[in-house]
Amino acid sequence: MRYSAIALAFLLAGCGTGTSSLPTITPAPASSAGSPLPDLQPRLDAIGVLLTDCAARLRGEPVDPADNCTHVMPDVTGVVAEVEKQSSKLPPAGQAALAEVRTQLAAITPCEPWFAAGGTSADRELDARCKKAWDALFRGYSAVRNTA
């Protein structure tokens, strides 16, 4: 678990912390104590911060090739797998959002070169498909976070 925290710290530093007017993944008004999955709240919140920071980078901000946010997907997949293990505790909306995130994680897999290029390519069809997959993943993860 300690190694996960260290890796997460590197990811937080690596994905940038610039401010933007983009939407963010933030906790719902309820406290962790009222959450169906209080033990996962810190990880869910941390991944939400990473996705929020990466969204800014994938929407046109200059991206260093070493700082392209592709490394976030394994962490998203990991926390989603942990939520799935306890999904029976989630309300129906959370279970539906979880299924949507799983679908979006599969849809985003072919977009790794797009991520590596900072969310742009010479292929408009690829740009549109990957942007749509990214936006759906972002919305779905936010819904999972807010129901968990």
Instruction: Kindly give the confidence (pLDDT) of every residue in the chain, 148 residues in length, as a single tens digit, with 9 standing for 90 and above.
Output: 433 333 333 333 444 444 444 455 655 544 445 789 999 999 999 888 888 777 666 666 655 555 556 677 888 899 999 999 999 999 999 999 999 999 999 888 888 778 777 777 888 998 899 888 888 998 999 999 999 8
DSSP state of 36: S
For residue 53, with 0-12 CB atoms within 10 Å meaning exposed, 13-18 middle and 19 or more buried, which class applies? Answer: buried
Distance, CA of 121 to CA of 111 (rounded, Å): 11
Distance, CA of 113 to CA of 95 (rounded, Å): 30
Give residue for tokens 């293990």.
85
Q: Report CA-CA distances (Å) from 35 to 80, 103, 126, 128.
A: 16, 24, 38, 35
Per-residue model confidence (pLDDT) at position 112? 77
Per-residue model confidence (pLDDT) at position 68? 56
Other residues' Cβ atoms within 10 Å of the Cβ of residue 79 = 23
pTM, 2 dp: 0.71
Coil, helix or strand at residue 10? helix
Per-residue model confidence (pLDDT) at position 56? 61
Per-residue model confidence (pLDDT) at position 7? 39
On the CB side of 109, CA atoms within 13 Å amount to 8
Per-residue model confidence (pLDDT) at position 19? 40
- Asked whether 100 and 140 are in contact (CB, 8 A), the reply is yes
Q: Report CA-CA distances (Å) from 86 to 72, 78, 79, 82, 106.
A: 22, 13, 11, 7, 21
Token pair in block for residue 135: 């936006």
